[in-house]
């Protein structure tokens, strides 16, 4: 269903609601109308089991939306928008019913706690709707590895809001380590325009890389037999054990 069609439908439902509000109908009549609307929404939700339909996205478009998105509502929202907004335009429902503003709380590694980089949270949520569970798991496994191993940021915005000259490798998908290593290397504070633009660019990078993997999967070209950390170490973990356990890496309980 195309976006305009859905908008029309939403509008007509809204005008129906307005009309029922204005009409002096009895309580029973009103209940009947709203009951009917409820049934309608439930039936609509059932029409779209996971995974949702996917069409290939231009990674450049995803990057642009994600970069701009960071300046509106930060990293999680930025990546989710970079992936889902093009699908809202191309495919319509069910994507138009998923407002990406709901991802905003991922900012700062989840409201500033520095846990998972919010850009990866945005990617995880989007991929969770698009790819079958097993494929999504491998796509995100690749994404976390790539995020940890890559000199970031790579993205060059058309109209940068600050100069970002330094790239760093985080060795980890954690916001705290990613931001910490970059701010130290660049000698810039958390509140500096450079750090902000760095995170906006990382947001674009994550959206673009995720879209490239989704596009490969759509083309039947995505392959990954990389093991998940939990299967390697016997504990849920990141690979940089020695950064947090410099003296002695504890052995997980068997
Ligand atoms: C981001 C930091 C970080 C990383 C990376 C990390 N750990 Fe830990 N780990 C901790 C902290 C903090 C604790 C809890 C304090 C402690 O016991 O040292 C912990 C606890 C553990 C425990 C529980 C037993 C214990 O002695 O507390 C095991 C086992 C463990 N880590 C193994 C690993 C392994 C193996 C890796 C790498 C695959 C790893 N850790 C990576 C921070 C980390």
* pLDDT value of position 200: 98
For residue 139, how far is its CA from the centre of ligand 1 (angstroms)? 25
Asked if residue 98 and residue 159 are part of one domain, the reply reads yes
Asked if residue 80 and residue 24 are part of one domain, the reply reads no
Q: Atom 18 (ligand 1): residue with closest C-alpha?
A: 245
Q: Atom 34 (ligand 1): residue with closest C-alpha?
A: 241
Structural domain for 18, as ranges:
3-46
* pLDDT value of position 48: 82
**110's torsion region: left (phi>0), alpha (psi -120 to 50) or beta?**
left
Q: Model confidence at 46, in pLDDT bands (50, 70, 90)?
A: low
Asked if residue 184 and residue 163 are part of one domain, the reply reads yes
In angstroms, rounded to a whole number, what is the distance separating the alpha carbons of residues 106 and 123? 11
Q: 127 in a domain, yes or no?
A: yes
Residues 6+ apart with CB under 8 A from 129: 50, 51, 52, 84, 98
Of 57, 59, 58, 79, the closest CA to residue 67 belongs to 79
* Ligand 1 environment, Cβ below 6 A: 233, 235, 237-241, 243-245, 249-250, 252
The sign one gets for the Cα dihedral 195, 196, 198, 202 is positive
Of ligand 1's listed atoms, the one at least distance from the Cα of 252 is 29
This prediction's pTM: 0.85
* pLDDT value of position 44: 52
Q: Atom 30 (ligand 1): residue with closest C-alpha?
A: 250
Query: Which of 176, 242, 244, 248 to mutate for ligand 1's pocket (most ligand atoms within 8 Å of CB)?
Result: 244
45 or 160, which is more confident: 160
Q: 9 in a domain, yes or no?
A: yes
Q: Atom 31 (ligand 1): residue with closest C-alpha?
A: 250
Q: 69 in a domain, yes or no?
A: yes
Question: Which tens digit of pLDDT belongs to each residue from 238-251?
Answer: 999 999 999 999 99
- Side-chain-facing half-sphere of 172: CA atoms under 13 Å: 20
């Amino acid at each position: 269903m195309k976006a305009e069609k859905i908008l029309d439908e939403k509008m007509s439902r809204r005008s129906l609601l307005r009309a029922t509000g204005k009409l002096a109908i009895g309580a029973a009549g009103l209940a009947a109308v709203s009951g009917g609307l409820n049934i309608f929404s439930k039936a609509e939700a059932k029409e779209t089991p996971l995974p949702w339909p996917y069409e290939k996205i231009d990674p450049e478009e995803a990057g642009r939306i994600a970069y701009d998105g960071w300046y509106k509502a930060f990293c999680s929202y930025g990546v989710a928008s970079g992936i889902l907004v093009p699908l809202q335009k191309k495919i319509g429902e069910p994507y138009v019913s998923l407002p990406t503003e709901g991802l905003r709380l991922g900012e700062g590694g989840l409201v500033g706690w520095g846990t998972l980089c919010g850009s990866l949270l945005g990617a995880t949520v989007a991929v969770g709707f698009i790819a079958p569970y097993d494929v999504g798991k491998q796509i995100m496994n690749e994404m976390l590895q790539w995020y940890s191993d890559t000199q970031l940021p790579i993205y060059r915005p058309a109209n940068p809001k600050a100069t970002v000259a330094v790239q760093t490798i985080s060795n980890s998908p954690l916001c705290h380590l990613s931001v910490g290593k970059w701010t130290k290397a660049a000698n810039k504070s958390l509140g500096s325009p450079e750090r902000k633009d760095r995170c906006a660019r990382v947001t674009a990078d994550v959206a673009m890389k995720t879209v490239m993997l989704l596009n490969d999967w759509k083309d039947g070209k995505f392959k990954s037999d990389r093991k998940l950390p939990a299967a390697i170490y016997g504990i849920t973990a990141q690979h940089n054990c020695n950064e947090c356990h410099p003296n002695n890496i504890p052995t997980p309980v068997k």
